[in-house]
C-alpha cells in the first residue's frame, strides 16, 4: 500500500478487487504509446456479480450508482495490473458508461457518477474525463452497469 492512490482508496474504506480477466476472445486491456484502453467491466467483485437488474425497474438509481463504483474499482484493478501502479495514471481520458435500464430511463448520468465521482475523489482534476452515459436494454450476465475506461499514463 505504498502508493498514494491506494492510500486514498483505503482512506475511503475501499479496496481493489483482483483484476478482471477476459470473458471471451479479447484482452482485458491494450496499451498504445502512453494510452491504456481497458475492456468493459461489469460489477463483479472477486468473481461475484454484485449488482444485477434494471435501473428504474427492480434497481434504484442509488443501487446503480453503487454498481458503477464497483465497476470503477474493477477498472482501477485492471489499471494496476497493466501499469504496475495506480500512481502512473496521468489522466482519465474517457469513460463510456452503460446502464441496464427500463425503456424511457433518463437518469443514466446520475448512475455513472458512481464511477466518475470515485475517479475524481482519487485523482482530482486528472480524474475528470470525457464521458457517455447510455441506457441500454441489457448487459452481460444481467449486470446493472458496465463501464469502459481510457487513461493516459506516465512512463
| C-alpha angle 151-97-153 in degrees, rounded to nearest 5 | 5
Q: Is residue 9 in a domain?
A: no
Predicted TM-score of the model (pTM): 0.96
Q: What confidence tier does 3 reach under pLDDT thresholds 50, 70, 90?
A: low
Helix, strand or coil, per DSSP, at residue 31:
strand
Q: What confidence tier does 1 reach under pLDDT thresholds 50, 70, 90?
A: very low
Copy the grid coordinates of residue 148. Answer: 469502459
Q: Which range of residues forms the domain containing residue 57?
A: 29-153
% of the chain beyond a pLDDT of 70: 98
**How is 67-115 classified by DSSP, letter by letter?**
HHHHHHHHHHHHHHHHHS-GGGEEEEEEEEEEEEB-TT---HHHHHHHH
Kindly report the CATH number assigned to the domain that includes residue 112.
3.30.1330.40
What rounded mean pLDDT belongs to the chain?
97
Q: How far apart are the C-alpha atoms of 80 and 108, rounded to whole Å? A: 27
- As for how many domains the chain has, the answer is 1
Amino acid at each position: 500500500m505504498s502508493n498514494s492512490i491506494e492510500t486514498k482508496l483505503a482512506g475511503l474504506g475501499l479496496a481493489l478487487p483482483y483484476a478482471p480477466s477476459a470473458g471471451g476472445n479479447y484482452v482485458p486491456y491494450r496499451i498504445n504509446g502512453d494510452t491504456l484502453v481497458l475492456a468493459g467491466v461489469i460489477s463483479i467483485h472477486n468473481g461475484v456479480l454484485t449488482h444485477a437488474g434494471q435501473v428504474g425497474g427492480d434497481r434504484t438509481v442509488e443501487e446503480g450508482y453503487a454498481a458503477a463504483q464497483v465497476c470503477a474499482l474493477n477498472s482501477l484493478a485492471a489499471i494496476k495490473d497493466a501499469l504496475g501502479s495506480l500512481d502512473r495514471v496521468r489522466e482519465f481520458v474517457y469513460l463510456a458508461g452503460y446502464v441496464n435500464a427500463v425503456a424511457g430511463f433518463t437518469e443514466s448520468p446520475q448512475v455513472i457518477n458512481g464511477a466518475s465521482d470515485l475517479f475524481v475523489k482519487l485523482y482530482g482534476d486528472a480524474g475528470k474525463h470525457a464521458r457517455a452515459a447510455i441506457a441500454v436494454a441489457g448487459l452481460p450476465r444481467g449486470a446493472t452497469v458496465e463501464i469502459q475506461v481510457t487513461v493516459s499514463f506516465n512512463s
